Amino acid sequence: MGVESKLGNLGILTTTIEKAVNWARANACWPLGFGLACCAIEFMSTQASHYDLARFGMELVRGSPRQSDLIIVSGRLTRKMAPVLRRLYDQMPEPKYIIAMGDCAACGGVFNNYAIVQGVDEIVPVDVYVAGCPPRPEALIDGILKLQEKIRRSRPLREAREEASKVHA
């Protein structure tokens, strides 16, 4: 019951380029280590052996935005930290994704005050919001699976073509 039994001796598999690209992107989405508060502790335990984020191809938390595809904003973002998040986001190569982990990152949470950004979507475009204060590792994993679903459903080539036709038009 593996891919061998389906293929027989042919050794050939047909798919679309988009599906192959999405498969690669979704299953090796390396997050940037961007811990801001207590959510980062949950993120660390999600990534560590007990919950084992490696099952989803995301075990490698990178220290450099140039080597990562995903920022998990884990915690409340202060107004002073906001330019840093934006700069890190701008330094990441395309395609890039953002998960707003926890209530603080999603909407400011309980911190409706002068110091905290009321949702990181003011600063960067967010793909998945994970609710919770902090979210349990299961919730974060669910958010990650949602992101992978979103990546698999995306049509990168069609989007690129539309983008190109917009430029020519």
Partner 1 sequence: MPDPIADTLKSRFGDAIRNVVEFRAETTIHVRPDAIIEVCTFLRDDPAALYNFLSDVSAVDVWPDEPRFQVNYHLYSMAHNRRLRLKVSVRDGQSIPSVTGVWPAANWFERETYDLFGVKFDHHPDLRRLLLPDDYLGHPMRRDAPLVVEEVEFTHNYGEVEASKPYAKE
Interaction site with partner 1 (CB under 8 A): 79-80, 83, 107-108, 112-115, 118-119, 121-125
Please report how close the Cβ of residue 8 comes to partner 1 at its closest, in angstroms: 45
CB closer to partner 1 out of 21 and 82: 82
Q: Could you tell me which of 23, 17, 26, 14 has the C-alpha nearest to residue 157? A: 17
* Shortest spacing between CB 49 and partner 1, in angstroms: 35
Report the residue number, 4 or 163, with the smaller CB distance to partner 1. Answer: 163
Q: Which is nearer to partner 1, 5 or 113 (CB)?
A: 113
CA separation for the pair 42, 36 (Å, rounded): 11
Q: Which run of H or E residues covers position 73?
A: strand 70-74
User: Please, what is the minimum distance in Å from the beta carbon of residue 95 to partner 1?
Assistant: 12
DSSP type of residue 122: G
Toward partner 1, which CB reaches closer, 5 or 112?
112
**Least distance (Å) from partner 1 to the CB of residue 62?**
22
The gap from C-alpha 42 to its chain's centroid, in whole angstroms, comes to 16
Q: How far apart are CA 74 and CA 90, in angstroms?
A: 18
Q: Is 165 left (phi over 0), alpha (psi -120 to 50) or beta?
A: alpha
